[in-house]
Amino acid sequence: MKNRFYFSMAAFPNMITMLNLIAGFFSILLATYGKYEFSVWLIFLALLLDSLDGHVARIFGNATDFGRELDSLADLVSFVVAPCFLMASIFSAMMSVWLLLAIVCYLSAGAFRLARYNVHPTCRGFFEGLPTPAAALTVAMTLLAFRKNGWETAASLVTSAVFLMTAISFLMVSEIPYPKISAVKFRVWRPLFFFQLFVAVFFFFFFNIETSISMVFLAFLVIAPFYCIAKNGISVSEEGSGDDEECSPPSV
């Protein structure tokens, strides 16, 4: 039975999770060599893979505790360690005590967020605290957008990095609700979706794709919790209304 579990097609979701882990590892490796843009895009790839593995698990009907634990370990590398290493690599020449503390706070908050999720999975269609994939992409893409747009004077970039890392660390360990998009009816989420689409198109047209993605995630960080509260707990879709699926999504 063990061989069948690990090597049959039923293990395909776990293979996708491993690709998430590999993407995170290569993101760290490329940051070591100063390939920061590639490093950020690999974190983005890891997010896509992290979103995919849960859907594939539901298709095969084989979501397991093993898969969830493996997913959590992969996320620790791709969405917690990789952004911290990227930040430390970029600012190695102008590292300050405050920035180092902000990086350590993010590292600790990310690990805490993943551990808390394993003990108390998501229910009722929303996450408790900011999910680590969204946190990682916000940090990495915002940093890359600063570099692409030439906004990287030492003072402004370091100050922005400290503020962003500290704020996101707080959001990850907080109990602020963030919607689980796949478990929410589109008609409920539609106004915010179109607003974010407008933000994406606007910043892509006037700046670049990095700034567009960064602004979409920053808008999500600020607006989504208020949207959850306004909707008083968000309606969960029929497809995601089962207890196992509703309380044990793959992305954390």
DSSP-assigned letter for residue 92: G
37's tokens: 């843009």
Domains and CATH numbers, the chain: 2-247 (1.20.120)
Please report the pLDDT score of residue 193 as a whole number. Answer: 74
Distance CA 214, CA 78 (A): 18
Of 252, 218, 251, nearest to 111 by C-alpha is 252
Q: Quickly list DSSP for 28-62.
A: HHHHHTT-HHHHHHHHHHHHHHHHHHHHHHHHHT-
- pTM of this prediction exceeds 0.85: no
Please report the pLDDT score of residue 136 as a whole number. Answer: 94
- Residue for token pair 């992305």: 251
Burial class (CB in 10 A: 0-12, 13-18, 19+), 67: buried
Please report the pLDDT score of residue 245 as a whole number. Answer: 38
Of 141, 148, 150, nearest to 218 by C-alpha is 141
Max Cα separation, the chain? 58
Strand, coil or helix: what is 249?
A: coil
Strand, coil or helix: what is 177?
A: strand
Tens of pLDDT, residue by residue, the chain (252 residues): 454 545 555 577 788 889 999 999 999 999 999 899 999 999 999 999 988 877 776 676 666 777 778 888 999 999 999 999 999 988 887 878 889 999 999 999 999 999 888 877 665 667 888 999 999 999 999 888 887 777 666 567 788 889 999 999 999 999 888 877 665 666 666 777 777 788 888 888 888 888 888 888 888 888 878 777 766 544 444 333 333 334 444 444
Please report the pLDDT score of residue 122 as a whole number. Answer: 61
